[in-house]
Amino acid sequence: MTTKYIVPATLAIIMTIGASATYGHTGETHAERSYDPVNNEFGAYEPNIKPDRVIEVTMDDNMRFEPASIEVSKGDVLEFRVRNAGELMHEFVLGTGESLQQHAEMMKKFPGMEHDEPYMAHVPPGDSMSILWKFDKAGEFGFACLLPGHYDAGMKGDLAVK
């Protein structure tokens, strides 16, 4: 095999491995994965937390979430059951308006970036995933799909913690 064939073949293998690593945990629920405790400006996660209630969220290829706006009470522990009703990969990421915007910009530069945080769900087409999260701080936050182009197309929602 000549060099002109080895380089493209090697790149194809690397890209396939990278895609598998990036989305290798799809189809699993957060209950099947172990996360270290997280406490940040929009809430907290601890292993073994139990939800007070469940909110069903649907994502689709129109680059929208349903519901697009969610209101919760400070102290609520929620389970977000996120369903991808589209034919494209989508994600559900909790954050502040600023952190979501910054992460969306970073994803444009590094579209294969790995994610593995308890406030993020990468959901393949036709699949579902759950996120458990405690809202221990009041404020105006959000959720979004940060895959390149999705955020800019309006795939984001508002989350008010009262």
Q: What is the pLDDT along the chain (162 residues), one digit of tens a residue?
A: 444 444 444 333 333 333 333 333 344 444 456 688 989 999 999 998 999 999 999 999 999 999 999 999 999 999 999 999 999 999 999 999 999 999 999 888 887 776 779 999 999 999 999 999 999 999 999 999 999 999 999 999 999 999
> Which of 70, 89, 82, 74 has the alpha carbon at shortest distance from 24?
89
In 3D space, the residue among 36, 19, 11, 35 whose CA is nearest the CA of residue 114 turns out to be 19
| Burial zone of 10 (CB within 10 Å; 0-12 exposed, 13-18 middle, 19+ buried) | exposed
pLDDT digits (tens, 9 = 90+) for 48-86: 899 999 999 999 999 999 999 999 999 999 999 999 999
Collect all residues with Cβ–Cβ distance below 8 Å to 97 and sequence separation of at least 6. 140, 141, 142
Domain ranges, ordered by start, for the chain: 3-161
Identify the CATH number of the domain defined by range 3-161: 2.60.40.420
Cα 153 from chain centre: 16
| Closest C-alpha among 132, 134, 37, 131 to residue 76 | 134
- pLDDT on residue 38: 87
pLDDT of residue 123: 95
